[in-house]
Structures are given as structure tokens and as C-alpha cells.
Structure 1
Amino acid sequence: MARRRSRPRADWPAREWARDPPPRCPARSPTRHFPFLEGAFKPVTEELTAFDLPVTGRVPRELNGRYLRTGPNVLGLEDPRAHHWMLGDGMVHGVRLGEGRAEWYRNRWVRSSQVAKKLGEPYPGPVPPDDFPCNTHVIPHRGRILALQESGPLPYELDDELNTVGTYDFRGTLEGAFTAHTKFDVHAGELHAIAYYPTWDHVRHLVVDPAGRVSRSTRIPVTDAPMIHDFALTERYVIILDMPVTFDPAGAERGDIVPYVWNDRHPARIGVLPRKGGAVRWFEVDPVYYSHTLNAYEEGPNLVIDTTNFDAPFLVAGNGSGGPYGAGTPRLDRWTVDLRQGRVRVRTLDDRPQEFPRVNEGLVSRRHRYGYSAAAAEMAVAYQAVDGNPPPDRAFSNALIKHDLLRGTSQVHRLPRGAAASEAVFVPSDPCDPRAAEDDGYAIAYVHNPERGASDLVILAAQDFTGEPVARIHLPGRVPLGFHGSWIPDA
């Protein structure tokens, strides 16, 4: 079993979180609120295209490509009580940068069959099984742009201007579900995934080879059909996080929007699968639910896995535009799996509320020093317990965080009240320079600008993280708080 978490370092600036007095939580009243349809989460209603975007500061000339981020943006909602945030129609927001200019902004719904029908557009070809407008991640792969979703739907391919091309099955080699969170190993040229589906008695480790085909599919037996939202990869191992959030057949029979529940009877465990083949080795841990992995690597006989974790129980199925309730807010933890001793140690690296951890993508599966995460007051409020208890005062802050995991310190780029920050993606200044420092580059994120009532794309110099942004690109509309994205450099 995992050991008790150690206390966070005393020298970490936790008090920074409380410089602003927290907003007063509204008293409970008969009026029903739907936090994931309001404020920073409120869906936008139009697809926009704008060119030559205004900029405060200077766009680095070495940034030539597109920053894309997706998230749920429900279209044509009639009854908010019948909606769940995680199931909103996917919308991708993109900004193209080139030669020191912000060339364009676009936002487009992913044209699944149901979105095409709502928009009055034809859907080309037959409707695939489990069709859904993928809303969780958008990645580049072998010259394609793919919008991703877990637990059934095929990825959707987009063109360079975010128009939907159609579903994508890796040249006919993907059989069944894919994932929302892939891991690309730049050294091997492989794209890895862990796929799950509510009726399977297993999960699948999928490997997409450099030719863009699923070259290996390994079935890993599991019980109770767990929700495996993310996973981790090291140089020699695949890390499977099998936690006690599992499919609820009775809930599905009742028509629950998201039929997954906290299951006290399901053991929490970490699986270690050799990438070259072999049996999975399982390690039991204390029950938590992770939201995302930052990265993982090998250190002698140990596997080091950095994740954002929620305390138990984690309740997925909030009613009415719900999201993940009942577990408070996530923190940054480290699991260390000792393969020699057969045990797992867990330590809290930073107990401040934060989400969406990212790493320099060139170091996926290798040792990292730095990580980047986001904190949004609006997300902390929306994640509050279903009984209405407010989150702690220090949750009420908007910030981007850079972690130095070697020194055990962090830097906080504080944002104004109401400036809700999305996930920050690291972009290297020169990805082809083998001598470049790990943090030689930029952290970029969409941030709501409360003064304009619209969003900015904020570019921070990663080595001057607390300084003024290098550039603020002013978008013509708002980018709601959502999920994940990628920097796609020009070829």
C-alpha cells in the first residue's frame, strides 16, 4: 500500500494564493445554478474568423505555427438539467502565428453527425458507432490534426483551418475505442494510448507506429470497467492508473448522463506494463482519483510519476450541467513505484489547487525538471463539493504555475481577478537545438480578459515566468474554460 503523503515544502509560497480576498460564495437559494454553463464556462454561440489580430507586446519571430485548444461548447441546449459539462459539443479554438504576427483566429465546432444536424449541414457518409464531437484534446500526428475523445468515439480529423474532414481510424487499423490522452515518444516515433470502453473486460494499450498505423494492441484484463482518463509512459514501461471510478450499469439503465461512480469495492492500483511485451505488474495504492499526468520517468529501480490528484471520493455524475463534484480541488502529487521492493510511495509536491499539468513534450517518458499548470478561481468554485461547502480561500486565484521539481520550488504568474486561465502549453524556442535548456521557450495559454469581455492568447517567456508577458494577442471573442491543446509548428 502507498505510504501517507508527506507535507508540502514549507518554503513554497502558498500564501500567494490568498493575496486577493475571496469572493463571497452566494447563499444557497431555490434558484438553480449551473456553474459549468455560466461565467468563464459559458458556451459561445458563434464561429468567428479574424485576421491580423492586435497585439500588446511582441510575438516571438521563432513561433511559426498554430496553437489549438479544444473543449466542450454545447450547441442548442434546451434543458440544462439534462447536460453534463464533459459531454458538451467539441469546439476547437486556434491562433496562427508567423514571422512575428498573429495572423488569424478561428473557432469551429467539430462536425460530428449530431453537430452537423444541429447546424443544418449534411454529414458525409455513414455515421460511425459511438459518434461524438470530440471535445477533450487536439493533437498533431503525421501531418494530420486530430480531435480526441475517450471511451468509444473515433478521432475526428481537422484541416489546417479547423474545418472537419471526417473520422480517422489510423488507416483502417484502429479497432474500437481510442483515448483522449496520447503520449508521443519522440525518440521512438511512437504514439501510445490506453483505450477503455464500458462493456470491455479489459483496457487496451495501443501503439501507433511511425507509419501512422496501429501496430500493436495489448489487452490488459480489468474488473468493473474503470474510467482510465490518462496514463503515463517511461522509456521502458507503460503506467496504467486503475482507480475506483467505474462504470455503473444501473446508472446507465436509469439514463444517467455520465454513468460512472466512485466504487469502494474496486481496489486502487498502478499497473506497470513492459513496452516490449510481458505481463502487467500491479501495485496497490491508497484510493484517490488522478485527473492528469504531468510526466513519468525511470530513476534506477524506481518509476517516478507526477500527477494531479483528487481526494476520494471523486463523483463524476453531477446532475444538470455537472462536472466532477465531491472531491474538492486537485493538487500535484508524485508517485514513486519501487520495482525492487514492490511498493509505492506518494508525496504531495504542491497542495495548491491546480489542473492541466504539462511538460516540455520532447521529454515525454524521460526525466523532466520543469512542469507547468493552471489555476482558475472559477474552476475551483465549480469543483466545490455538491453539498455547497465552499473551497478554501486560497482556491480563489487565477494563475499559471511553473514548477522546478529538482529544487522543489515554483514560480507563480498571477493574473487579475476574473482572468480565468486555461491550460498552459510549453513551446521550445528551437526544438532542433540539442543544447537548449529544458525551459528555453514559451508558455502559452488562453486567458479571459475581464476588461474586454473576450480572451487573449498570453505568451510568457518560460525563463522569466513571473515577468510581463512577451505578448498578449487580443482575440475577437471569448474562449470558454475547457480542456487540452497543442502547439503545431509549421513543417
Structure 2
Amino acid sequence: MDNRYLQGNFAPVTDEVTAFDLPVSGTIPDHLDGRYLRIGPNPRLDGPGAVDPDGYHWFIGAGMAHGLRIADGSARWYRNRWVRPEGDELAPNTNIVQHGGRTMALVEAGSPPYELTDELETVGRCGFAGDLAAGYTAHPHEDPTTGELHALSYSWTRGNRVDYSVLDTAGRLRHQVEVEVHGSPMMHDFALTEHYVVIYDLPVTFDIDMVAGKMPRPLRLPARLALNRVIGRNPLPDALVGAMARGNGAPSQLPYSWDDDYPARIGLLPREGNSADVRWFEIDPCYVFHTLNAYEDGDEVVIDAVRHERMFATEFTGPYEGLSSLVRFTVDTVAGKVREHRYDEHAQEFPRHDERLTGQRHRFGWSVGLDGPAPGDSVLKHDVVGATTLARPLGAGKEVGEFCFVPHADDAAEDSGVVMGYVHDRVTGLSDLVLLDAETLEDVAAVHLPVRVPAGFHGNWAPTAS
């Protein structure tokens, strides 16, 4: 087996573990009271639902949630649990957030979110998912002013339509708008500003042959003809599309690839507008998985994001097509043009900001340095005003996951707090939850786990409700 996304720290763990009273180096700030939650793929390699190692794509693995409870300066427990979906649905594996008093495991492309208990046991589908035409997203953004959760959801079953939705503070669906895009793109993230939803319509698109090619030979031509009706036009009935997507078993391949002929553009949708109100602005071909933050500056919309030159053009098991860098897209709404500026040359991903400033002007951001297709050993802090980047290597043999920011207090300065995330040690084969000072990136504390947390996706701090 030579699939890199099934080896090293990408390899799945086989057991669900519960551990209490974990050892800590350094000092956990007393004010931290909550759970650090993170999720990622943890595929089964044998038995029912096992993936095909040769064609396995990292994004497809069954979801496993990891949680660490912190209170009173101590690490009370660690748990990892598979997300257990209904029937043959894809288990959410991409993000885990707390909203409206619920813990939600999320994935994109039409699959519904699932609610988890505080101890990460699966409850079932979130109730609002039945109201959403395209399932949900892996990357909702909470408006810090209203507390509402905004999302942009896509699915190839929806053809050239994506859905913008807003959940109120109780988790009820308040607003939903259907938006027409160019074709059937993969939209992993979006951005939110005071007045706009920022839409990335970029050249990673649904690939018909990846689905129809796996069908039994007599069904391939009819499947292609049927799927061609979906792409860029009207969706087919969900039951028919679902049957074609499932093919002969559990999916292992992500049916999206780079399309040189697809135009790259950024759209600005007024928050209370509809599809006809979107303004589109062309940019150079690229792909964006993750936004750091966005805001408005007079007639301009400023978007800081990690830009990839291309994606899924030659590598179809995971997101590695060369350099990725932090850039600023400045949309001039008067001139109708977009300027692009690269901040530095660090290969990186998983950009995060102080989420008290979502949609507002920010100065700082944090991300993870990459070493080829794998996480590197460095945490990066960007000062987008001072145009500087501070890199903190955590040491040889370390692999750093996404770090998120937690302020010391509600009214603390933008970088007054800690950033936290899981770090794997290749020497010991175990992982720690590491807390760094957000301003200096110096050590604050490390919680030592008795297990390995595989390389995964997104993590968030979920404070205990007061």
C-alpha cells in the first residue's frame, strides 16, 4: 500500500479511547473552561465499509471526533469517537462546531450534519438539515454581532446551484437563498463581511467520469447522459443521483478535479439579496480551500485566504499540487477588478483569525506550515498590517495540526490569548494538545495524550455555557 494518506500520521486509529486526568506540562490558563474539539477522516481498512487503499482520497474517510475537556487549569478527559451516520451516508469528517447549544459534526457536498453529545456520542441528524436543499457546509461562519451562523452549501446533485443559509442563535433556519454559479464547483469555504457573502466559483469541478466510470459497464453511457443533465443545468431526482453516486460500494474517490476551461471568479452576494444581485469578478485561475478573514474598506472588499495554484489536476488522493501561500484579494467594486497580493513564501494551510472579528478589519492570523503534502513542524503568525510573519518550529519529528485562537477575555486585544491544536510526535507515536501564546508563539502548556490523533481537518474551542 503506497497511498500516503493511509501512512504515518495519516493512518487511521483502530480504537475508541477514553482517558481521564491527563498529565500537563506548563500551566493551562485558569479561565479556559470548555472542550477543544477536532475531527478528521479515520477510514476502516477492513471489514464492512472498508476503503480501497489504491484509490482512497483523504477527504472520504469515516469521521472520528476528538475532544479534550479543560477546566480549572486541568485536562479532565480525552475522548475519540466515530461519527455514526444513518444507512450509507458519509460520516461527517471535516469540521466540528458548537452552535445553539448543540455540538455539530459537519461535512460538505450534500451530506447532512450530525449532532453529538458533549461526550462525542452520535445523537443523529441535526433537525435543520431537513430544511436545507443542499445539505450543509464544512465551513459555516458565525457573525459575532448577531450570533447567527452563515453557510454556503453545494452539492453536485444541485447542478449549478448553491445555497446560502442563515441559522439563528437557537439553530433554526432563518433565511435561505439559492444562487446560480457557472457549473458544479467544489466550494469548501466562503467568506463573510458586514454586507456581503463572498463566493468562490473556482476551477475544481464535478468530474462525470469519476462517477460514471465506476458504474457497471452497461450502465456507464446512460449514467454519463444522465449526469450531463445535472452539470450546469437542472438537478436530477435525489434518489436517482444518489444511486449513481454510490455505485457498487462505499466511495473512495473524490469526484472533483481541475478544469482548465472553467473560469475563476469571486462573487459578492448581498446578505439579504438573491441570485440576481450577485456581482462577479474574474481572477487568475487558482483554488481556495480556506479563508483567513474578509472585511469591507469603503468601496473595496478585502479577502485574506490561502491560495493554491491549482488542485486535483495530477494528484487525486489528497490536496497536494505544489505551492500554497497566504494572499490578499482586494475586490474593487467601482472598477470591477480584483488585485492580488502575496504576503510571504511559506507553504501553509489552515488559516485562522480571532473570530470576534469575523467580517471586520483584522490584523493577525495564524496558520500551519506545510512540508510537501504533510503538515510541517511550524506554527505561523501573520501580521497583515506590519507585513511580517513569525514562524515557530516546534521541533524535529513534530507534525502540527490546525491551531485556533482563544482570547484571554471577551474584551482582550486581538492577539491576547492562546492558540491551540494537536501536535503529533513521530518519535513517541503519540500526540499532545499544545497551547502557545498567541502574541509570541512561546510555550504555554501541553496536554499529553495516551494515544495518537491522526492528521485531520478542523478544530474549535467550545466554551462551557455560562
TM range (shorter): 0.7 to 0.9
- The alignment's TM-score, normalised by the length of structure 1, stands at 0.83
SS in 1 for 2:127: coil
Q: Distance in 2 between matches of 1:83 and 1:285?
A: 32
The match for 2:273 is 277
Q: Distance in 2 between matches of 1:347 and 1:34?
A: 35
The match for 2:35 is 66
The match for 2:243 is none
Q: Distance in 2 between matches of 1:195 and 1:73?
A: 24
The match for 1:388 is none
Q: Distance in 2 between matches of 1:317 and 1:133?
A: 27
The match for 1:124 is none
Q: Distance in 2 between matches of 1:455 and 1:292?
A: 25
> Do structure 1's residue 248 and structure 2's residue 196 form an aligned pair?
no
Provide Cα deviations, 1:370-416, integer angstroms capped at 9, x if missing partner: 10001243xx245xxxxxxxxxxxxx951001111110112111111
Structure 1 contact 53–474 (Cα < 8 Å) conserved: yes
The match for 1:192 is 150
The match for 1:323 is 318
Letter in 2 for 1:258: L
> Do structure 1's residue 399 and structure 2's residue 393 form an aligned pair?
no
Structure 1 contact 316–323 (Cα < 8 Å) conserved: no
The 4+ residue runs of structure 1 with deviation greater than 4 A are 316-319
After alignment, is 184-193 or 138-147 more displaced? 184-193
Structure 1 contact 108–162 (Cα < 8 Å) conserved: yes
The match for 2:177 is 218
Q: 1:397 to 1:76 in 2, by over 3 A?
A: closer
Q: Distance in 2 between matches of 1:222 and 1:248?
A: 16
SS in 1 for 2:67: strand
Q: Distance in 2 between matches of 1:94 and 1:110?
A: 13
> Do structure 1's residue 477 and structure 2's residue 435 form an aligned pair?
no
Q: Distance in 1 between matches of 2:376 and 2:269?
A: 39
Q: Distance in 1 between matches of 2:289 and 2:147?
A: 26
Q: Distance in 2 between matches of 1:367 and 1:206?
A: 23
Q: How many residues align?
A: 421
Structure 1 contact 376–420 (Cα < 8 Å) conserved: no
The match for 2:102 is 144
Q: Which runs of 5+ in 2 are unaligned?
A: 215-251
Provide Cα deviations, 1:394-442, integer angstroms capped at 9, x if missing partner: xx951001111110112111111220000000011112x2xx2111110
- The alignment's TM-score, normalised by the length of structure 2, stands at 0.87
Q: Distance in 1 between matches of 2:313 and 2:111?
A: 19
The match for 2:464 is 490
Q: 1:316 to 1:363 in 2, by over 3 A?
A: farther
387, 407, 432: which one aligns with 1:408: 387
SS in 2 for 1:251: helix
Structure 1 contact 59–101 (Cα < 8 Å) conserved: yes
Structure 1 contact 373–401 (Cα < 8 Å) conserved: yes
Q: Distance in 2 between matches of 1:34 and 1:211?
A: 42
Q: 1:240 to 1:381 in 2, by over 3 A?
A: closer
SS in 1 for 2:211: helix
Superposed displacement of residue 259, structure 1: 1.5
Letter in 2 for 1:57: G
Letter in 1 for 2:446: R
Q: Distance in 2 between matches of 1:348 and 1:317?
A: 24
By relative contact order (CA 8 Å, sep 6+), the higher-ranking structure is: 1
SS in 2 for 1:133: coil
183, 191, 194: which one aligns with 1:235: 194
The match for 2:223 is none
Provide Cα deviations, 1:330-354, integer angstroms capped at 9, x if missing partner: 1111100001111100010122111
> Do structure 1's residue 167 and structure 2's residue 125 form an aligned pair?
yes
Counterpart mapping for 1:202-213 below 5 A: 202-213=161-172
The match for 2:421 is 445
Superposed displacement of residue 324, structure 1: 2.2
Superposed displacement of residue 102, structure 1: 0.7
Superposed displacement of residue 316, structure 1: 6.4
SS in 2 for 1:341: coil
Q: 1:249 to 1:166 in 2, by over 3 A?
A: same
Letter in 2 for 1:73: N
Q: Which runs of 5+ in 1 are unaligned?
A: 1-31, 114-126, 383-395
Structure 1 contact 397–417 (Cα < 8 Å) conserved: no
Q: 1:37 to 1:53 in 2, by over 3 A?
A: same
Structure 1 contact 316–324 (Cα < 8 Å) conserved: no
After alignment, is 253-262 or 79-88 more displaced? 253-262
The match for 1:309 is 307
Counterpart mapping for 1:321-400 below 5 A: 322-325=317-320, 327-377=321-371, 380-381=372-373, 397-400=376-379
Provide Cα deviations, 1:234-268, integer angstroms capped at 9, x if missing partner: 00000000001111122210128212121122110
Letter in 1 for 2:367: S
Structure 1 contact 257–317 (Cα < 8 Å) conserved: no
